Every structure is written in C-alpha cells, then in structure tokens.
Amino acid sequence: MKIADRVLKLRELMREKGIDVYIVPSVDFHQSEYVGEYFKCREWISGFTGSAGTVVVTHEMAGLWTDGRYFIQAAKQLEGTGIQLFKMGEPGVPSFIEFIVENIKKGQCVGFDGKVMSVSQVNDLKSKFQEDIKINSDYDLIDMLWTDRPDMASSKAFVLDTKYCGEDIQSKLSRIREALEKENCDINIISSLDDIAWIFNLRGNDVKNNPVNLAYAIITADKAILYIDDRKLDNSVEEYLYENHVDVREYFEIYEDAELISSSEVVMMDFNKTNFTIYNRIKDVVKIINRPNPSNLMKACKNEVELENLRKCHLRDGVAVTKFMHWLKNQVSQEKITEMSASEILEGFRKDQDLYIEPSFDTISAYGANAAMMHYKATKDSDATLKPYGLLLVDSGGQYYDGTTDITRTFVLGECSYEIKKHFTLVLKGMIKLSKAKFLYGATGTNLDILARQSLWEQGIDYKCGTGHGVGFLLNVHEGPQGIRFQYNSQRLEEGMNVTNEPGVYIEGSHGIRLENELIVQKDLKTEFGQFMKFETMTYVPLDLDGIIPELLSEDEKEFLNNYHRMVREKLSPYFDESEIDWLKEYTREI
C-alpha cells in the first residue's frame, strides 16, 4: 500500500474500534531511541525514516511531529502522503499533545498501544484534558494492518568480561539496592535496555548498532529478575546468570508480575522510560515513585577500567578514521567515490582494528548540500558522487569490546568558497572553546553550551540540535543523563562522564559542517572557591586544515589546535607507514 492508503486503512480501523485520535510514536516497548525492525510502526505508517517523531491520525488529518535534525528530510519524505509536518520547537507549533487537546471533543477517544507510550506521556495527556475524554491503550492498530511485519529480534546474548567493564554484576546490584534503601523503595522496575545491559553485564544485537537485548528487569533487596526470551541465552550465559543468582523469566511475564506487586511494597520506576501498560497493570493502591533508575547515573560515570579501555579504543578508532582521511584525500580525484562507497571504505578500516564488532550507528556520509540534513542517510537514489571540490561530512562510530566511539569530521575535497571556510572555522572555534572549558563543579551542560555556539551566534548562525551527549560503554551511542545543549539539562557534569562536543553549521541547499570529538570530565584544581573541572579529549583524528582560515582563530585557539594535532601525530604515527607519516605530518602541522 501507498502511505496515503495505509492512513485510510488506519482510519477505518479507528472507526471500528471507536477511536477518534490515534498516536503512533517511534519507540519500542522500552522507550528506546533506536528500535528493531519490528517496532518501526511510525516509519511504516508515514514513510519518514528518521529516528525521532510521532504520528497523530484523526478522521480528518494526519500529522508528523519531529525535531530540527529532521525538518529537511521529513519534508521530502512526506511529499504526496497527505501527512502534515509539524516542526517541533518552532514558534507557534503545538506539541502533538497540545494539538490533540486543542482538537478533540467531549466524549471522544484517544487511542494508542500502551506498550509504546511512556507513563510520562500518558499522564501529560490526561492532565491536559479539560472535558470527558476517553483513553484506549489496548490496541496496536498498526499490527492489524502491517501484514508483512518483521518478527521481534532474537539475537544471542553474551557476557561482557569485567576486564573491559571493570565492575561485576554483584557490585552493581549492591549499589542499586543501597540506592533503593535510601529512597525507602522495595522494587526497581527497569525497562530501558541499556540500563539492563549495564547492570547484568550482558550485550546482544536486538537493535541494529545498539548491543542490547530486549528485556525487562526487577530488582529487590533479595532478588534480581531478568525477563528475556530464553532462546537468546546459550548454556554459558544461563550458567553465568545462575551463578550470580539472577532469576530468568519469560519476556512478557513482566506484565503478569506487575499485577502481583503487594500493596505494602513501594515501587521505583522512571516514568520517562517505562511503558504505560506496565504501570497500568500495577494495583492503584501500590505506591509508585517516579525516579531515574539508579543505574542511569552509575552507568554514565565511567570507572577507571572503562576509561582506560575507552582511551585505547579511541586510539584504534582514530587510526581507522585517519587512514580513511588519507585515502579520501588522495583518491577523490583519482577514482569514482560515492557517499555509500566512502562509508564502506571507512567500515573496512574499522574492521582492521582489534576488538571491533560493528558500527555504533548508521554512518552519515553526506556530500555537498546533503550534509545540510543533520541525519542524512545515503540511499541508492540519493548516493552522490564525490568531486574534488566542496565538503564531505562523515559522522560515524564503532562498537568495540572495549568501548563505543562517535566522531564527526568534515573533509575538504578541494576548492570551496570563502563562506564555507569561514563556517568551518567558526565551528572549529566553538569546538575548541568547549574543549578548553574550565568550570566549577555543579555546572551542567546547559551552562557550557554557549561556548560552542558563541562564535556562530555572533554571525547570526545556530544549529537546531544539542551540542553533545553521553556515550555508552559498548552500549548506545546516545546516553544520558548528561548532555550539552541549549535546552535545559539539570544533570551536573560528574567526574568520569564522557560527552561529545559537536557544534555545526547547516545551510539548506548548500552545505553542512560538523566537527565532533569525545571528552572526559575530569577534576582540575581545587581552591577556596570550590572544585574546578575540565575536559580531556580522547578522540585522535586530524581536523582538516584545508578548511581553516587561520586569521579567524585567536592565539589561544591556534595553540590548542597545534597541541591537539601534536598529540594526534604522536599517538597515531606508530600505526602508519612512512608515506602515511609524511602525509600525517602535513595535516597535523602547526599553524
């Protein structure tokens, strides 16, 4: 069926079930950002392939809500579907919940699959209704229409050795139980896949590029229960869980066990990460406390073993990306290279590195105007041929047994305009200012975000996304609770957290530039004014000097860049042959 026909069929089902408004979010049963093929309902009903967005269908209209990363892409993919684009965050644009509240009438019904709507979203929806509005969370209407829907993922789980992650399962469970006791809670219900992977030191491949298993967990003072399809567990994993006193139950049994929770018990769950159906199954008399899972902050603060492994991991990843840069610079005028073939070559360099598993997300390889779409993904139809002029933006990363990487470099392929070089230099200035930051403990990423944007703001330029995010350890490439963004984030930057630093410029129809390093939060000097903090850069790849206008850099910025390039050259040289080293010296030279 065409998209427009799918929407018509959905409306027929809505009438049959007595539903006036139906919501289709992007997530799975665990509120994950990236989802397996089975859960791509919003993509199926709309044709929009971005990772974030919500579709709302009424009997008269259909709309897609998505954020600034996807405005250009969504507009193109929605053409001819009859689905209206709502640009989240833009002046005068209501949220999808505000839209529903404004357009629904007394006595009508809002429907959704309760397993893919968070408790927070449903509570927010309910709180805004002023009249008698019904809610039906029982139906997955997309499942009734999607006749060739893929099966749910069933990859094998594997145990991550403590030589990589630095802390065993018993230690983690003990810390979580201490946190529960401190909050006077008896039960922690955990739905988020990366938290579960971290707690149990298990990894899998149920979500492309995200090494997690579809699972739920319940932790009490004396029990740890893992809800997972037992076909994912081989004998060694079963033995590991048994030895660590972890009860294993069937994946969907979490819903039955939620109904059995005693009225005398206090439950802790994260309303943003728990689906409404689990919450709805718990008796009304049970006290439920909405808190981030204790594991969320524990996971974000990497231990010394993880940090040392990450540095090694980033070094090997830097070798791969720099060898790609060398190849690209030398071959772009010699052979046919496309966005997709360049991405495959980069993947080949990563495969040559020890402990490599897979990409940490789908590589963004975007030439020219395509790079103006922040999360562009080349297809056979859009796969541009690279020319010896303009820019190629490559945002990529790797999953390794000893860590996860995320790096963006924008490569100058040849001649480009002064405006493009100016934009490149402004992005670099923002990256350097954030990298150099010294800040008092207690600061959040929101306090620091202006450092990355200031040089752009002075020229009337901005980018419609955050500046940085946490990164998991052989886990999701986007990890909280920390972040660096203009929008408010209350999480303090703690020692051991890692965060990306990735300002950019995106000019529709012309070009896109993003430069990204990963940083580690460290303690700096302590004075009578308090504990000061700083960043360590752990990404080791040259920043393309061909795109820089040196006169636009301050002396401090030049010094930082020269020191960074000296470090890159020293770390990478042992892995390069003589001709590559000559090239490396040229691209890490002092300016």
Q: Are strands 84-87 and 62-66 parallel, antiparallel or unpaired?
A: parallel
Are residues 564 and 547 part of one domain?
yes
For residue 165, pLDDT over 90 is answered with yes
The whole-model pTM stands at 0.95
pLDDT value of position 65: 97
What is the layout of strands, in order, in the sheet containing 134-136? Answer: 84-87, 62-66, 54-58, 21-24, 109-111, 134-136
**164 with 123, same domain?**
no
- Are residues 110 and 181 both part of a single domain? no
Under the banding of pLDDT at 50, 70 and 90, the label for residue 1 is confident
Report the pLDDT averaged over residues 91-110. 94
Same domain for 94 and 201? Answer: no
pLDDT at position 68 is: 87
Amino acid at 22: Y
Are residues 275 and 317 located together in one domain of the fold? Answer: no
22 within a domain of the structure (yes/no)? yes
Share of the chain above pLDDT 70, in %: 100
Domain limit, last residue, from 111, 145, 179: 145
Alpha helices, H only, 155-273: 162-165, 169-182, 193-200, 235-243, 253-259
CA terminus-to-terminus distance, the chain: 58
- Is the per-residue pLDDT at 131 higher than 80? no
Residue 150, in any domain of the structure: no
The CATH number given to whatever domain includes residue 267 is 3.40.350.10
Indicate the number of domains in the chain. 3
| 152 falls within a domain | no
The beta-strand segments (E) located in 397-549 are 398-400, 403-404, 407-412, 438-440, 468-470, 479-484, 498-501, 504-507, 511-514, 517-527, 530-537
Mean per-residue pLDDT of the chain: 97
Boundary (domain end) residue, out of 245, 278, 299: 299
Whether residue 276 is found in the same domain as residue 321: no
Q: Is the pLDDT of residue 130 over 80?
A: no
Measured at the CA of 542, the angle between CA 540 and CA 544, to 5 degrees, comes to 155
Structural domain includes residue 153: no
User: Does 48 lie in the same domain as 173?
Assistant: no
Give yes or no: residues 267 and 348 share one domain: no
For residues 470 and 532, membership in a common domain is answered with: yes
Residue ranges making up the domain that contains 179:
158-299
Average pLDDT over residues 25-51: 96
Which helix (H) or strand (E) segment is 73 a member of?
A: helix 71-77
User: So what's the pLDDT on residue 30?
Assistant: 98
Same domain, 467 and 520: yes
* Residue 561 domain-assigned (yes or no): yes
Considering the domain architecture, whether residues 231 and 345 belong to the same structural domain is answered as: no
CA distance 469 to 363: 17
* pLDDT (tens digit per residue) in 168-191: 999 999 999 999 999 999 999 999
pLDDT band with cut points at 50, 70 and 90 for residue 527: very high
Is 214 among the domain residues? yes
Domain termination site, one of 95, 124, 145: 145
pLDDT tens digits along 531-572: 999 999 999 999 999 999 999 999 999 999 999 999 999 999
Residue 212 and residue 306 in one domain: no
